[in-house]
Structure 1
């Protein structure tokens, strides 16, 4: 009987995490599945991968395998240490029976412990892989929610077992209040399963289209609001756009460019809604006429000031 290096079969390091082992198994199982693979030894490799995964996915089996396999290499003649199983508790069900589809090496070590999930044959049903994509939506979609139709190029397995890209049109429900970076899960819209197995899921990461007025920061919304010098100096009540419609906002007298106003609860919907932050930007009218120039000269005489004084610049 020859020693089997399950790590080598799976193409992973001995220190591989359970998630790394799972990903390697899914990749190899899809590659060698007899119903899709064109390789002559696909079925044998498929069973070998299944056997390796049966051991490495189980913490107890993996610990036992690691203990006895420290000094062995793939293909070397192998005899297990006497009574080695007494060191490990694999739970109920040990009968010494043979596990269908596994090698003598496996059966000598773990006979009777194989789970139904680990018995591989042509009728094996494998869950399809989850898929991930990004979608661009408008801020208004996130604010109001609703259904949008999108087209995505998604990988699929064709009749010859090859991965091809096909366009898929889906109606997506946009949850009200979804934020950039959050994901929408579409159950069963990922890669199809093998042999009628369950399809994986599709996860759509949300990004926002550039908006001509607003910018999202989490659930908060930011906007830059142009105001006149007299609105900033004297104070005024002006209309301000929000995702929920226009609202009237009071500008305090003596406001400066860069001053920020907070509209509570006017951001994206949530259990505690986000806010809208309004940054003032003073826009100076052009001196396009003799009257306008005279007015600016009069202002300079009546309200002399040096806005660069804090910079240490005199004059």
Structure 2
């Protein structure tokens, strides 16, 4: 069953870009596979990413609103009303194994004689301006040019490449054998995002355009970073005295080193936010970077360190197991 991208994000069809982005961020956090271990969470996350990819792009959203689930394979200059009419005719004929037949009089569908068998391709060709086929004798009924099929392939990038963009050489195998494409991955792609390469899909028939190739981006696991949508998370180790007294600490982000202020009295798992230092957004607000504190103690204490810790233990009234 076709997915309604608005329903996937839980927004109305007239939602503004900010509302769509808020809905995406909330759902992406809830359904990210690293957070949600329930069955089906990963598929929901992919659906959410695809829906956001389409609805956050004004041109893709316009085409989706006009053509629905067919928006990726509709010719650029197609008329929405004609396309919907053609789909209705095709759907109605699907139960007849792809052919229209009947013994009634002429009429109904542009004067087609239903006493004669009519291919679905002929019917759709007439709707979209195709010429008659094989001497059917009725102008406007025929398959006409048929656009090529859309294809899909996955491309994996690192977090750093997703941040700054990169290039890939992909080998695509088609009817004419393998071919190599040099592809530019733009900055700010997210996991599950689809990149459209116009005209790089299956060849069309007649004078019709080739289909499109859609690259599905996969962000590879990273030893330091965890990505949720456009937000990036990382552990930030700090010394006990930095956590207790407060400190300014350097932290690595995908865009380079940054400085984060650790408030005095911080404990492990406290999250510090660096606004706008996550993955960029080509047309909107970038994600954020979250540093999660991890208080670490020396494994081997020097004599002075041990003495100071022992003195602290004697004078401190702090109870780490107290809920207060």
Q: TM-score range by the shorter chain?
A: 0.5 to 0.7
Q: Within 5 Å, which residues of 2 pair with 1:121-200?
A: 125-146=145-166, 148-152=167-171, 154-157=172-175, 167-194=178-205, 197-200=208-211
Q: Say how many residue pairs are matched.
A: 230
Is the CA contact 2:168–2:185 (under 8 Å) kept in the aligned structure 1?
no
Deviations 1:104-145 (A, max 9, x none): 3449xx99x945437446996432211111111122222222
Quote how far apart the aligned CAs of 1:274 are: 1.6
Kept in 1, the 8 Å contact 2:192–2:217? The answer is yes
- Partner residue of 2:88? 59
Instruction: Tell me: CA distance 1:258–1:241, structure 2 relative to 1, closer, same or farther (3 Å).
Output: same
1:40-59 alignment runs, 5 A limit = 57=86, 59=88
Counterpart in the other structure of 2:250: 239
Q: Report the counterpart of residue 285 of structure 1 in structure 2.
A: 298
Q: Does the 8 Å contact 1:185/1:202 carry over to 2? A: yes
> Any idea what SS the aligned residue of 1:104 has?
coil
The Cα RMSD (Å) is 4.2
Does 1:272 find its partner at 2:285? yes
**TM-score, structure 1 as length reference:** 0.59
TM-score (norm 2): 0.58
Tell me the distance in 2 between the aligned counterparts of 1:219 and 1:151.
25
**Contact 2:126/2:143 (CA < 8 Å) preserved in 1?**
no
SS at 2:259's partner residue?
strand
**Contiguous gaps of at least 5 residues in structure 2:** 1-67, 74-84, 135-141
Is 1:298 aligned with 2:311? Answer: yes
* CA offset digits 1:152-194 (Å, max 9, x no partner): 4x44225xxxxxxx55432111122222221111112112234
Structure of greater Rg:
1
Cα 1:265–1:123 change in 2 (3 A) is closer
In structure 1, the gaps of 5 or more residues are 1-17, 24-55, 159-165
User: For residue 240 of structure 2, what is the aligned residue in structure 1?
Assistant: 229
**2:243, 2:153 → 1: CA distance?**
46
Alpha-carbon distance between aligned partners in 1 of 2:184 and 2:104, rounded to the nearest angstrom: 57
